Chain A
Amino acid sequence: MTQTSTFVVKTTFAFLLLICLPLTLATAQTVITGTVIDDLTDEPLAGVEVRALSVFGATNAVGAFELRVGIPAGEALHLSVGIEGYQTYETDLVGNDSGQIDLGTIRLQAAVGLNQTILDELIPSISLADGDLDANGGGSQNISGVLSASRDVFVSAAAFTFGQARFNIRGYDARYTSVLINGLPVNDLETGNVFFNHWGGLNDVFRNRTNTIGLGASTFAYGGVGGASTVDTRASTQRKGLNVSYALSNRTYRNRVMATYNTGMLASGWAFSASASRRWADEGYVAGTFYDAYSYFLSVDRQLAKNNVLNLTVYGAPIKRGKISGATQETYDLAGTNFYNANWGYQEGKKRNSRVQNINQPVVMLRNDWALSDKLALTTSLGFQTGRTGNTALDWYNAPDPRPNYYRRLPSYFEGDTRTEIEQLWEDNPEIIGQIDWDQIYQANYNGFQTIENADGIAGNTVSGLRSQYVIEDRRTDLSRATANTVLEAFLSDHLTMQFGLTYSDQTTANYKLVDDLLGGDFYLNVDKFAEFDSSGIFTENNLAVPNEILREGDRFGYDYDLHIQQTNAWTQANFRFPKVDFFLAGSIGQSKYWRDGKVANGKFPDSSFGESEKLSFTEVGAKGGLTYKINGRNYLLVNAAYQTKAPYTQDAFTSPRTRNQVVSNLTEEKILSLEGGYLLRSPKFKARAMGYLTRFEDQIFNRSLFLDRVVQNAAGTSGGFVNYIMQGINSQHAGLELAVEVNVTPALRATAVAAIGQYIYTNRPTATIYLDQLAEEVVKHTVYIDNYNVAGSANEAYTFGLNYTGSNFWFANLNFNYFAGTWLDFFPERRTTEAVSYVSDPTIIQEVVTPDSELWNSILDQERTPSAFTMDFFGGKSWKINNVFLLLNVGVNNLLDKKDFRTGGYEQFRFDFDTKDVNRFPNNYFYSFGRNYFVSLTFRM
Chain B
Amino acid sequence: MQFKYLFSFLFFAILGLTFSGCVDQAFDEPPVRGLPTLTANATIAQVRDLHTLGSNPTEITEDWIIAGLVVADDESGNLYQNLVIEDASAGIVIRLGSAGLFALYPVGTELFVKVKGLYVNDYNNLYQITGDASGAVIAGPLISQYLVAGEKKEVMPTPTTLNEVLNNPTVFKNLLSRLIILEDIQFADVDLGATYAVAGGGSGRNRTLEDCSGNAVVVRNSDFADFAGEPIPAGNGTLTAILSVFGTTVQLTLRNTDDVQFTGTRCGTGPIGGDLVSIQSLRAAFAGGQNAGPDNSKIRGVVISDLANGNFNSRNIVIQDGTAGILVRFTGNHSFALGQELEITVSGQEMSEFNGLLQLNNVPLGNAASQGNGTLPEPRVATVAELLANGNAWESTLVRITNATLNGGPTYGDGFTVADGTGSIPTFTFFSASFSGTPIPTTVGTLTAILSDFNGLQLNMRNIGDADFMGGSGGDPTAITAAELRTLFADGGSTVPAARLLRGIVTSDAGNGNLTGRNLVIQDATGGMTVRFTANHVFTLGEEIEINVSGMELSEFNGLLQLNNVPNANAVSYGPGTLPTPRVATIRQVLDNLEAWESTLVKIVDVSMPEGGTYNGSKILEDDTAQIALFTRTAATFSGATVPTGQFTIVGIVAQFTEAQLIIRNLNDIQ
Spell out A's residues near B (CB within 8 Å): 242, 244, 246, 255, 257, 259, 278, 280-282, 290-292, 320, 347-348, 350, 352, 356, 398-400, 408-410, 414, 416-418, 421-422, 425, 433, 438-440, 442-444, 446-448, 469, 519-520, 534, 536, 716, 839, 845, 847-848, 850-851, 854, 856, 882-885, 915-917, 940, 942
Contact = CB atoms under 8 A, between A and B. Distances in A.
26 contacts: A242-B8, A259-B15, A280-B22, A291-B23, A292-B22, A292-B25, A352-B27, A356-B25, A399-B103, A399-B104, A400-B100, A414-B139, A421-B139, A421-B145, A422-B141, A422-B142, A444-B104, A446-B32, A447-B102, A447-B109, A839-B634, A848-B637, A851-B642, A884-B3, A942-B4, A942-B7
A439 B14 contact: no
A536 B136 CA distance: 32
Given A244-B15, A291-B23, A883-B3, A348 B30 contact: yes
A942 B131 CA distance: 71
Contact of A416 (B98, B132, B144): B132
Nearest to B138: A418
Given A422-B142, A847-B637, A255 B30 contact: no
A469 B100 CA distance: 9
B456 interface: no
Nearest to A843: B637
Given A536-B229, A885-B3, 17 more contacts: A246-B18, A259-B11, A282-B24, A292-B22, A292-B23, A292-B25, A398-B100, A398-B103, A399-B100, A439-B33, A443-B104, A447-B103, A520-B29, A839-B640, A847-B638, A856-B642, A942-B7
Contacts of A422: 139, 141-142
Contact of A447 (B3, B8, B106, B142): B106
Interface in B128-170: 131-132, 136, 139-142, 144-145, 149, 152
Given A278-B19, A850-B640, A348 B28 contact: yes
Nearest to B617: A916
A607 B401 CA distance: 69
A348 B98 CA distance: 25
B140 A409 contact: yes
B-side interface size class: 35 or more
A418 B142 CA distance: 8
Interface in B69-127: 75, 98-104, 106, 109
A257 B15 contact: yes
B647 to A, nearest CB: 22
Given A246-B14, A940-B7, A418 B139 contact: yes
Nearest to A915: B634
Interface in B500-523: 512
A716 B198 CA distance: 14
B149 A443 contact: yes
B342 to A, nearest CB: 33
Interface of B: 3-4, 7-8, 11-12, 14-15, 18-19, 21-25, 27-30, 32-33, 75, 98-104, 106, 109, 131-132, 136, 139-142, 144-145, 149, 152, 199-200, 202, 229, 512, 614, 616, 634, 637-642, 667
B450 to A, nearest CB: 41
A940 B11 contact: yes
B560 to A, nearest CB: 24
A257 B19 contact: yes
Nearest to B26: A350
Nearest to B100: A399
A788 B12 CA distance: 58
Contacts of B21: 280
A414 B131 CA distance: 12
Contacts of A282: 23-24
Contact of A400 (B4, B103, B142, B640): B103
Contacts of A350: 24, 27
A882 B100 CA distance: 68
B19 A244 contact: no
A858 to B, nearest CB: 14
A930 to B, nearest CB: 20
B72 to A, nearest CB: 15
Contacts of A446: 32-33
A416 B145 CA distance: 17
Given A399-B103, A409-B140, A885-B7, A438 B23 contact: no
A152 to B, nearest CB: 35
Contacts of A292: 22-23, 25
Contacts of A421: 139, 142, 145
Contacts of B142: 418, 421-422, 425
A536 B77 CA distance: 14
A936 to B, nearest CB: 16
Contacts of B642: 851, 854, 856
A433 to B, nearest CB: 6
Most chain A beta carbons < 10 A, residue from B22, B33, B141, B667 = B141
A418 B132 contact: yes
B7 A425 contact: no
A766 B12 CA distance: 59
A280 B21 CA distance: 9
A347 B3 contact: no
Contacts of B25: 290, 292, 320, 356
A255 B18 contact: yes
A408 B140 contact: yes
Contact of A417 (B11, B12, B28, B132): B132
B33 A845 contact: no
B140 A257 contact: no
A831 to B, nearest CB: 16
Contacts of A447: 102-104, 106, 109, 152
B641 A851 contact: yes
B23 A280 contact: yes
